[in-house]
Chain A
Amino acid sequence: MQNDEEEPDARIFSVDSRFEKLARRPGGVPREEAIERAHEMIEELKPGFSQWLDRELSELGELIRQGEAHDYDAAWSDAAYQQCHRIRDVGTTMGFDLVTFVANNLCEIFATISSGGEYRADLVDCHIQALLFARQERYRNLQPEQLPELSSGLRRVIEYVPKEHAPK
């Protein structure tokens, strides 16, 4: 896409949006207070996170079980990727950085399968096990770097995902 400066017919105008006008009004919640309140509210949501994660993992497990019937095709791996991405997008916010890390790894595996890579059950299974491990309460607020054996091990596993299907 071209830059605006290359466009001879560019019309430039100001938009004084309601958001800009009203958000600058005095009387809002100061940044530090707002962030603290948000963290408190997230804390209140955390008990429900475990139930949500259990449901998501159960659905992911079911998707993986259906993979063979779908010949591990692109549509199947896309669905598995999306499922895994949901877990990835929430983990850190809820204090489970390790869950996000493992789910992100698994996303990479499904993305590789989606673009023609081969499905390897052992590589997916070890990530599912790692997710079940990482979801435990005692690993909340732990960073992947604090569990180097697990995190570096899973990163190495990613390198073994075949980029292409082996000839049958």
Chain B
Amino acid sequence: MENPEQNTLAGLEAIPESATRQNVALPEPAAIAEGERAAQPAAGTGVPIFEVNGTSIYYGSFRAVTNVSLTIYEHQITAFIGPSGCGKTTVLRTLNRMNDLVVGARVEGDVSYRGENLYARNVSAIAVRRRIGMVFQKPNPFPKSIYDNVAYGPRINGIRNKSELNEIVERSLRQAALWDEVKNRLGNSALGLSGGQAQRLCIARTLAVEPDVVLMDEPASALDPIATGAIEDLMKEIKDKYTIVIVTHNMQQATRVSDRTAFFSVLINPESDTRTGTLVEYAPTERLFGDPQDDRTKAYVTGRMG
């Protein structure tokens, strides 16, 4: 495999664990006071994590998403909203190469993560997912004990030391605001948890491997308002350590938690009767909801559509 792209692989493979956090100390443009931010929705907002450029995504011959371009910034919560079938989940799953698992899925255009092309031939999807974690719509705890669920990620990454694992499990469960509820039954099956607890366990499991980015695919859609609130608070608490991208159907949720919002919509071609998702508008959340530039966005956020 003597190919010139080898260097890009080395670039992604060799980022030391600590180096993925090296930008934490950079001055945060998001530190502008809340009120000013609405009035000053300038584009530049910190370190770009993902740069998606002219990307189309196919499942077989079906073009699910057409020509999406957006930039996601570090330590922000970016929300994807839009009606069903608009491709928000597809775009999200492209960001950590989860779509590789779908037979026939194909990505066209550029998707880069910290400047590295995610779809370069020699980039390992395993290395990518190690840094870019994902929380799914339906809580999916493994049929193991609560402890083993959280310790799963560290273990597959080679951590065997018992006290180190204990520490990681406690820290992750505390971050996910679940520690107090489960600390006395860590050995019990994770399948005995309620829906909200199970989802927080899945978040703890994701945080346990200390990812750089956490992708969330409608993490609260199956939860009651109290559990939803807990997860939203949690997202706001952890965003100074992680970068979060969340897909949501709930526009209030997007306004409550996100810094930037991308509105996706469905394009229908009446001639061939095909549908494809596309990015309509991407802006700081207050501007997208307060002063939408596109009529489709306006219709959606004011409840006249979708």
A binds B: no
Chain A residues with a Cβ under 8 A of chain B: none
Chain B residues with a Cβ under 8 A of chain A: none
